[in-house]
A and B are shown apart, each in its own frame.
Chain A
Amino acid sequence: MRGVIVTSVAALLLAACGQGDGGNNAGVGEPETNLSAQAGVPSQDLAAVVGANPRLAQLVQAAGMEKVLSGKEPYTILAPTDAALNKLPAGSLDNLDQPAQKAKLTALLRAHILPGTILAADLTRAVENGKGKATIATMAGEPLTIIRDGDAFRITNAAGQSARTTGTEQPARNGVVHSIDTVLAPAS
């Protein structure tokens, strides 16, 4: 029985590879390879990766979401850079101990968290397959639109705000982090 399963899996993988255009893992320079983006699982978790930006980490902590980023479930984080946070209106992130601000902050962070692990190669593939754009769900319930922007991606939310990915993706044990240059505030 196990042999049947293994054989079936192998056959499916081979069939998928043979198609050349159906995989998820192909990188920019190698669109015909399904498995090219597979990598070893990193040891550090999302909380550690996000923690490299102390200000962002402080926001995560204020929202009580550290365990979301250190747990077992996979997420993709669109992490605003420090410069992106600085672009917010003055006082936007003040008084985080106040209930109204906590609720607002929680919603803001949720709008930057996506279900599952979405690598840059996956975005590339989806945008190609989607004739130039793709949509991704967020934990705030408002999908984002992704298009190619040079060697990066441009991400637009329902409110019309737009951010560009910066740098390279940062894989984590439980997901991946993409830095973005603008905060994407939820529409509602």
Chain B
Amino acid sequence: MKKTFILAGAAALAFTAPVLAQPGKGGGGGNGNGGGKGGPPAAQAQKGGGGGGPQMRGNGGGGQKQARGGGGPQMRGNGGGGPKEMRGGGQQREARGGGQQMRGPERRIERQAQRPQKQDMKQRGPVREARADRGPARIERGNVERQRGGGNERFVQNRGGRDQVDSRVFQREQRITVNNFDGGQRYSYFGSPSFRTTGLVDGCPPGLAAKNNGCLPPGQAKKLVGATLPVALGSALLPIDYRSWYPDNDDYYYRTTDGYVYRVDRDRNYVDGYWPISDDWNGAYYVGATYPQDYLGYYNVPVQYQPWYADNGDDYYRYGDGAIYQVDRGNGLIEGIVSLLAGGFGVGQPMPAGYDVYNVPYEYRDRYVDSPDNWYRYNDGNIYQVDPTTQIVQAIVETLV
């Protein structure tokens, strides 16, 4: 029965994918709704966009880049999407096809221009369009997992072992850079109007050494930014519980070492962003503190939250230390905490401690009821299905966004 249900739900949503996907829109990153919700509302399919960022355009993905998928033949990795054909580039790829690099500020402008149209669709955030595109990918992932016999080792088996550095030479047009980007690679906070007007230099959070050139993190992480990804890191996948946060997609793949996430531009196989992966709980982030300037330039909101927290004209949204922060564009100060993340859930892994109690939100309780066969637990924007006997997380069955 359970298998029938899951396969039936996956198949149903998979069939709807071509209808829901809208050319020129999209975003996301291979996640989505599923689990027999009855299909996402059509209105959601109209929404799109990714996170954006001051320059780094977020973790787009969505429904249009069907042929290429989230992994590609050589760069499989953290894919949060499932079958390649169900992932996609969506808005970004469509834009590139026209010779434009719709990223960073440019994307923001485009999103703003589209807002009147979006309001007609559904009263949601600026990038809600992504969800429908991501939905089928998520359910497909669950489907694939089932077909392969449980999926406990899904990520490792299906992606990790085939990771290689993509050494292809790309001849795409040069990306658009803006004034505050150094070499087209990284946002330079110190060269930004914000810095020049505020003179903000200090405020380095605890744990980061204050240097004349900013809040440098320990180690050599920063040196990798702007460089080709070292071959040795090609297979350095994110910890499983982070892969649904930063799934590989058409534009980027994510690798890790020394406690940092490295975002790699797939086209050029080139590290274009990084940020700490681990939660150190050192109190570095609080309202009024400066968001670490080394990472401010990189939109790093976990993919499931991107439709809710897209950069806008006034604020950035950035992840750090178990929370998503609203950061003032003008001075880089944390204005507020908008979301808290608990972490710890990874498909195929044991459920973390502290989830003995059913915690599914009201709206989903009729769909996801604990039974002797399945438990359901909410964590960081997703509802997970857990095997009650083994306590192994089996699948993401619903994404709330």
Contacts and interface: CB of A to CB of B under 8 A. Distances in A.
Interface of A: 1-2, 4-6, 8-9, 11-13, 15-16, 19, 22-25, 34-35, 38-39, 41, 62-68, 71-76, 97, 99, 102-107, 110, 113-118, 122-123, 125-126, 129-130, 134-141, 143-144, 146, 171, 174-175, 188
B198 interface: no
Contacts of A139: 322, 340-342
A170 B371 CA distance: 26
Contact of A118 (B352, B359, B380, B400): B359
Contacts of B355: 135-137
Contact of B370 (A23, A64, A103, A188): A23
B283 A107 contact: yes
Contact of B372 (A22, A102, A106, A114): A22
A50 B344 CA distance: 27
A52 to B, nearest CB: 20
Contacts of A12: 1-2, 5, 369, 371
Interface in B176-204: none
Contacts of B342: 115, 137-139, 141
Nearest to B309: A71
Contacts of A130: 356
Interface centre among B12, B378, B381 (most CB of A within 10 A): B378
Contacts of A1: 8, 11-12, 15
Contacts of A105: 286
Given A9-B367, A67-B337, A73-B400, A117 B357 contact: no
A122 B342 CA distance: 19
Contact of B283 (A24, A104, A143): A104
Given A99-B286, A102-B286, A139-B340, A115 B371 contact: no
B239 interface: no
A97 B338 CA distance: 19
A124 B28 CA distance: 38
B336 A65 contact: yes
Interface string B256-299: 00000000000000000000000101011111110000000000
Q: Tell me if B's interface is mostly helix, strand, loop or mixed.
A: loop
Interface string B351-395: 011111111111101110111110001111100000010000000
A141 B322 contact: yes
B106 interface: no
A188 B334 CA distance: 23
B339 A73 contact: yes
Contacts of B353: 135, 137, 143
Given A22-B372, A116-B378, A8 B4 contact: yes
A39 B362 contact: yes
Nearest to A121: B358
A8 B4 CA distance: 7
Interface of B: 1-2, 4-5, 8-9, 11-12, 15, 36, 38-39, 279, 281, 283-289, 308, 322, 326, 334-342, 344, 352-363, 365-367, 369-373, 377-381, 388, 400-401
**Which of B9, B344, B357 counts the most A-chain CB atoms under 10 A from its CB?**
B357
A15 B1 contact: yes
B301 to A, nearest CB: 13
Contact of A24 (B286, B339, B369): B369
B336 A117 contact: no
A8 B5 contact: yes
Given A35-B366, A115-B342, A5 B36 contact: yes
B356 A134 contact: yes
- 6 tightest A-B contacts by CB? A116-B359, A137-B354, A24-B358, A64-B287, A8-B5, A103-B283
27 contacts: A5-B36, A8-B9, A12-B5, A16-B370, A19-B372, A24-B358, A34-B370, A39-B362, A41-B363, A63-B287, A64-B336, A65-B337, A67-B336, A68-B339, A102-B287, A103-B284, A105-B286, A106-B285, A110-B340, A113-B340, A115-B342, A116-B378, A118-B359, A134-B357, A136-B356, A141-B281, A143-B353
B338 A123 contact: no
A122 B2 contact: no
Given A113-B340, A140-B281, A141-B322, A74 B365 contact: no
